[in-house]
Amino acid sequence: TLGSGPLAVPGTLSVPRRPGSVPYPAVVLLAGSGPLDRDETIGRNKQFKDLAWGLASRGVAVLRFDKVTYAHPGQVKEAKDFTLADEYLPAAAAAIDLLREHPATGAGPVFVLGHSLGGTVAPRVAAAEPSVAGLVIMAGGTQPMHWAAVRQVRYLASLDEATAAAATPAIDAMTRQAQLVDSPELSPSTPASDLPFGVPAAYWLDVRGYHPAQAAAALDKPMLIVQGARDYQATVTDDLAGWQAGLAGRPDVTIRVYDADNHLFFPGTGRSGPAEYEPAQHVDPAVIPDIADWLAGIARALALIPTEDPLRRRPA
């Protein structure tokens, strides 16, 4: 259990079967937007279960948890002042603290891995939790979320020429809602019905004040950014370009693009769409070893830093 009180959430810790080899590098998983469980279940697929078992099989302890919006939907809906920070930071902080102290991990370095909106918010988590050793950002967005939603609806409409015109009113309505998010007229009293997805104004006021690439650039932490080239939700052109621009020249930032992968890092061909998420499948087998190798490399580098070095990310 992560946190305390009425919004505590349950989670699962996966530990490598390597007796005597602790400390392990450990990672906290941050799921994407919406009320997702600890496995990030979408249809018949469980991306975070793939990641947890795959990484644990390669020497990385992994903690994943149900989002507060999944575990406590009624209480979240009633909280009109609920923000992006409330959606992620309390549970993430509790997860990081647990991994730092849990005997199964041996006090190894703790990383944060975020997917989709979880990747977008990962730099904010690391800024709030200085003990974080580094970040893995999987298909994290840098374009403002309300405008990314408009872009995605336009894309989906383009997949079927026969119904594209019928989508115009919905696109226009979403555009007006996104414009209101950016407007100086947005205030805590703005009706949720006037805003994207019917989400209250407090959430959007927080979103528009957060700039993920800038937040990442302010961190002195190594980062691995991975992206599917066929992703239409977080795209190479609109979102990966934001990370590249914000982190240009950083030798501690590694970027990898998987040409065949979509937003869930499932390989495929052609233009990606929601139907591609329906069949039962698994994360690209090339992705998990790449992440595990990067985490192990950073953990080895941190272990070589002398204890008295003020730049050391973790206590000895």
> Does residue 231 have an active-site annotation?
yes
Contact 184, 270 (CB under 8 A): no
Contact 75, 34 (CB under 8 A): no
Count H helices and E strands in the chain, helices first: 12, 9
Using alpha carbons only, what angle is made at residue 287 by residues 286 and 290, rounded to the nearest 5 degrees?
90
Chain-centroid distance, C-alpha 127: 15
Task: Report helix angle 201-208 to 168-182, nearest 10.
Answer: 70
Six token digits for residue 271:
């233009």
Among 39, 50, 72, 116, the one annotated catalytic: 116
Torsion of CA 239, 244, 247, 250, to 10 degrees: 150
Among 72, 115, 146, 263, the one annotated catalytic: 263
Give the end-to-end CA distance of the chain in Å, rounded to a whole number: 26
Contact 131, 314 (CB under 8 A): yes
Chain-centroid distance, C-alpha 158: 27
- Cis, peptide link before residue 184, omega less than 30° from 0: no
Q: CA 110, CA 276: separation in Å to the nearest integer?
A: 33
Q: CA 245, CA 89: separation in Å to the nearest integer?
A: 26
Contact 196, 181 (CB under 8 A): yes
Among 231, 239, 261, 284, the one annotated catalytic: 231
Q: Which residues are catalytic?
A: 116, 231, 263
